[in-house]
A and B are shown apart, each in its own frame.
Chain A
Amino acid sequence: MDIIERNTRKWFDRAAELLRKPKQEQTTEPPVDLDTDTPNNYNSLPPELVENILFRLDNDSLLACRLVNQQLKSAASKELERRNLLLWTSWQPLQGSWKRIESQFSPTVRVLQTLGKMIIELTLWQLKKVLIHTPNLQVFSISNFRAKQQSTPPTILQMREADGIIISPNLATLRICCDGCELYLVDYLLELCAHQLVNLSVATSSEELLLSLCRRKFEKLKKLEINSFQVSGPFCAIWKGESLTELNYLDILMIYCSSREIDIDDETYMDFIGQFSSTLAHLGLEMAPVSRGCFGYLKKKGIIFSKVRSLTLRKRESIVNWEGTQAKLDVEALFPNVSDVNFVDF
């Protein structure tokens, strides 16, 4: 039995345990009839008839039934789940904006191909259902999601207390494109899977999202891509990479913008990158700080990226003269094993 199969089996056992729990409690302590002279109440109906009745109820009534007793909770939850699964099967990827985002973000593999619309209308409850029903999920990619109504989000602690942690054991790649709305969904996802992620891509304009990354431990992370369109100094200052001992691919784009009053501090930025000098095999970043001599700061600190074989610099304009510049000399000193710098327009 290979490791994936073992993990999947474990996942199924855990899921079965969670799903079975209410039923077990019911059998150990059956519901009590208030009026024992009346033999027939809701509890006397066989499951198929209860199902027949619940099928007719609206969602609000089903939610009320979940609060009546164990038997009704179990049956109503099943019906609610069925409705959501039915909804999912009819969902189609959105046209237009979704495709534009997709082309910008260039996702590699999307295991759940109909996630498009669900992403837009994702709720925490639906997210949990996706995770519960996809034990073989390896890659999860979500973009620009919204909940329909703004409500008080539950805390991570409340979520954990409510249903325990359950996640597809093979989920190793998470791609997030988020403008900062509904951050609690991302928080929840990260809480569930940060420890097992190998690849993480984040495209965001939200400083808060970046800061939420700082609160997680990514023990297995090897590849990290961050595209941020927001001031990201606090993130670079806070994130300590002690737990990222296996990180060998870092592609970070913190957009510099001269019109902003506050921008990322070069030294903070370089200190952040310098944390990973002993493990990185690939580094990608924006050309602007390099042109300003940021690498010189690292050179003075004696940092060398000896394992880096591939260096990508993103630039807005063509470089007229790279040869003989101080920036080139700094690159050669910091990256002795990089033969050619890969320049990319953005």
Chain B
Amino acid sequence: MALVRVISSDGAAFLVSQRLAKRSGKLKTEIETFRKSSDNSEAQPEIRIVTIRAEILRLVLQWLQQHQNDPVLPANQNEQDGRGDAEMGQSQWDRDFLAPMDLGIVMELILAANHLEVKGLLDITCKLVESKITGRTVDEIRTAFKLKSDFKGNEEEQTRLENRWCVEN
């Protein structure tokens, strides 16, 4: 079985099958580039991901392994039919996978899924964030995402007033 060595930003190496790695658009491109530039067809590709730390990379690879037999979603599907397709691919395993994560980890996972071009993972993580916003008050959203108001003067009050006009419809 052909393998590829994927190294995280903090130096942890993961040895995974090329078949599995190629489910990531980014890793697939890197493997193909390596093959074209390498004289030795048996050589093992080594890919360094400088923006993703080990804990997050492990989660991505774990998710890919679980979904290795799923059909690959086209990268530009969102542009064609909207982005509400996360539920379709979200299984009980996905829910259990995401359940223990705090939002900081989820945010890193979103960035990693985006960087590695893993659309299915990107969809379910964005869906999770969406669920953390929907139906929440402004203060609850701020607390959940560790955000602080940076409005000046009475800007927040003015925005609240604008919102009232918006909901006339």
Q: How far is the CA of A59 from the CA of B166 in the complex (A)?
A: 9
Contact of B78 among A52, A57, A59 (CB under 8 A): A52
- A67 touching B159 by the CB < 8 A rule? yes
Residue contact A45 to B127, C-beta cutoff 8 Å = no
Known contacts A49-B110, A121-B169; decide if A68 and B142 are in contact (CB<8 Å): yes
Closest to B103 in A: A41
Q: Are B148 and A34 in contact (CB under 8 A)?
A: yes
Asked whether A42 lies within 8 Å of B107 as measured between CB atoms, the reply is: yes
Q: Which of A117-169 contact B (CB under 8 A)?
A: 121, 123-126, 147-149, 151-152, 154, 158, 161-163
Interface string of B125-169 (1 = CB under 8 A from A): 011011001111110011001111111100010111111111111
Residue tally, chain A, CB below 8 Å to B: 55
* A65, A67, A80: most-surrounded residue (chain B CB, <10 A): A67
Contact A40 B165 (CB under 8 A): no
Report the bound CA distance from A61 to B137 in whole Å. 9
A340 at the binding interface (Cβ < 8 Å): no
User: Which residue of A has the minimal Cβ distance to B141?
Assistant: A68
**CB atoms of B107 and A162 under 8 A apart:** no
- Number of A-B contacts defined by CB within 8 Å: 140
Interfacial chain A residues near B166, Cβ < 8 Å: 59, 63, 80, 123, 125
Interface size class of B (residues with CB under 8 A): 35 or more
Most buried by A among B130, B141, B166: B166
Q: A33-B148, A43-B147, A56-B130 are in contact. Are A64 and B136 (CB under 8 A)?
A: yes
Q: Decide: A40 and B133 in contact? CB cutoff 8 A.
A: no
Give A22's nearest chain B residue, CB to CB.
B155
Tell me if A26 is interfacial: C-beta within 8 Å of chain B.
yes
Q: Are B148's CB and A149's CB within 8 A?
A: no
Residues B110 and A35 in contact, CB atoms below 8 Å apart: no
Contacts A64-B138, A125-B169 known; list 15 others, CB within 8 Å. A31-B147, A33-B148, A38-B146, A49-B111, A52-B126, A56-B83, A56-B130, A57-B133, A61-B133, A63-B167, A64-B137, A66-B159, A66-B162, A121-B169, A125-B166
Residues of B participating in the A interface, judged by any CB pair closer than 8 Å: 78, 82-84, 86, 103-105, 107-108, 110-111, 114, 122, 126-127, 129-130, 133-138, 141-142, 145-152, 156, 158-169
Q: Could you name 12 residue pairs across A and B whose Cβ atoms are closer than 8 Å? A: A34-B146, A43-B147, A53-B126, A55-B82, A56-B83, A56-B86, A64-B133, A67-B160, A68-B149, A123-B168, A151-B167, A162-B161
Binding site for B on A (CB under 8 A): 25-26, 29-35, 38-46, 48-49, 52-53, 55-61, 63-70, 72-73, 80, 121, 123-126, 147-149, 151-152, 154, 158, 161-163
